[in-house]
Amino acid sequence: MDARYPEECREVGLTCESCTETSARELASACPGLRGKMVGQLFVQIYTHSSCARMHGHFTRAYAAAAFVPLRAIAATA
């Protein structure tokens, strides 16, 4: 059965923002200094459901904040 996103996430107390921020912080902790294209590719691999796609920019910004990387540095390589 296909998951019902984001309804199932909300049922367990997750918002799209909190979900992507948490994942982005974990990614930044494990892999600091990634370039924009790689951050974007990892987002797509982590969030495979189409309803998550709108959170791409939020994920990128959260990664940049957590990795202490200027957003313009990520955007320049995207």
Does residue 1 belong to any structural domain of this protein?
Answer: no
Does residue 2 belong to any structural domain of this protein?
Answer: no
What does the pLDDT read at residue 59? 97
What does the pLDDT read at residue 62? 95
Does residue 65 belong to any structural domain of this protein?
Answer: yes
Does residue 11 belong to any structural domain of this protein?
Answer: yes
Going residue by residue through the chain, which has 78 residues, state the pLDDT in tens, using 9 for 90 and above.
467 888 888 899 999 999 999 999 999 999 998 988 999 999 999 999 999 999 999 999 999 999 886 656 555 555
Does residue 55 belong to any structural domain of this protein?
Answer: yes
The residue range of the domain holding 49 is 7-77
- Chain-centre distance for alpha carbon 61: 8
- Using alpha carbons, select from 58, 63, 57, 20 the residue that is nearest to residue 9: 20
- Using alpha carbons, select from 50, 54, 38 the residue that is nearest to residue 63: 38
User: Count of domains in the chain?
Assistant: 1
Query: What's the pTM?
Result: 0.81
Burial class (CB in 10 A: 0-12, 13-18, 19+), 27: buried
